[in-house]
Amino acid sequence: MRTLLTTVLLVAVAGRGAAQWSVGAEISASRYGGSSHDTSGTHAAPEGRPGDATVLHLRVEHRWRRFGIAIRAGTSKPGLAITGQGVNVTDKTSGRLIEAAALASTRVGGIGSSGAVRLELGPALHLWSFEDTRSRLGATGALAYEWLVAGRFTGAVRLEGMISPSWFDQGDTPPEFERRATWRYNVGLGLRYRL
C-alpha cells in the first residue's frame, strides 16, 4: 500500500500538467448471491447471503490521458438474507458493510464527443459486521460510461461485479449448508469533480 501511494505521489508531481485528480460520490443498488447453500434440500429457503442494499461510495482518482487509478471507500447495511423458492426474508439489524477498493482503469471506447467508456479492475477489502467483524479480500470489476455534466463536473453510470470468499465463517451455518463464494453486482450513478 505504501509503495502504491509513493508511486501515485511521484507520478503526480512529475506529470502534473498531463494528469488530473478528481473526487466524487457514487450511489448504487447492489444484489448479492452465494455465501452459503443447503446441500440437503430440506430447507424451504436454501440460500443464506448478505441482503440487497444501497451502497454509498466516496472516490479519489488520478488519471493520465487513457489510464487511471482510484481509491474508493463505501458503506452499506445489507443485513442477512435467507432466500429461495419464492421466500426472501432479510434481517437488517445486523450485517453492516465497510469496503475499500484500489482500482486501475483504462478508456476502452467513447460515445459522442465527450462520452467515455472505461473498464476498471482491482482488489477490494470487505469488512462485514455480523456478530463480529469478518474481513474478506476479493476482486471487483466495472464498466462505466462517463460524460461531461458542466465545467469540471463529470457524471458516470457504472455496472460492477465483485467476488470474494464466503462472508460466513465455518461455525455460522448449520452442518448441511456449504459455504460458497460471495458475489455481488451493482448498478450505480456517480458525480465527480475534477480538481
Q: State the CATH number of the domain containing residue 65.
A: 2.40.160.20
CB 159 within 8 A of CB 141: no
The answer to whether position 137 is within a domain reads yes
Which residue has 482510484 as its cell numbers?
Answer: 70
What's the Cα-to-Cα distance from 183 to each of 123, 142, 177, rounded to whole Å?
14, 13, 17
| pTM given for the model | 0.79
DSSP 8-state symbol, 174 = -
**Three cell numbers at 8?**
501515485
- The model's pLDDT over 137-160, given as tens digits with 9 standing for 90+, comes to 999 999 999 999 998 999 999 999
Burial (CB count within 10 angstroms: exposed 0-12, middle 13-18, buried 19+), residue 21? middle
Query: For residue 3, is it within any domain?
Result: no
Of 7-11, 116-120, 136-140, the one with minimum mean pLDDT is: 7-11
Question: Helix or strand or coil: residue 56?
Answer: strand
User: Is 108 domain-assigned?
Assistant: yes
* Domain limits for position 88: 22-169+176-194
Q: How many domains does the chain have?
A: 1
Report if residue 143 sits inside a domain: yes
More confident residue, 137 or 167: 137
- Does residue 99 lie within any of the structural domains? yes
**Cα–Cα distance for residue pair 128/184, rounded to 1 Å:** 14
Give the model confidence (pLDDT) of 34-91 as tens digits. 888 777 766 666 788 888 899 999 999 999 988 999 999 999 998 888 777 777 778 8
- For residues 28-37, average pLDDT: 88
Judge whether residue 17 has pLDDT over 60: no
**Which carries the bigger pLDDT value, residue 117 or residue 132?**
117
pLDDT band per the 50, 70, 90 thresholds, residue 14: very low
Banded model confidence at residue 102, pLDDT cuts 50, 70, 90: very high
Element (H, E) at 139: strand 132-150
Grid cell of 95 as nine digits: 450485517
| pLDDT at 26 (0 to 100) | 97
Residue 5 lies in a domain: no
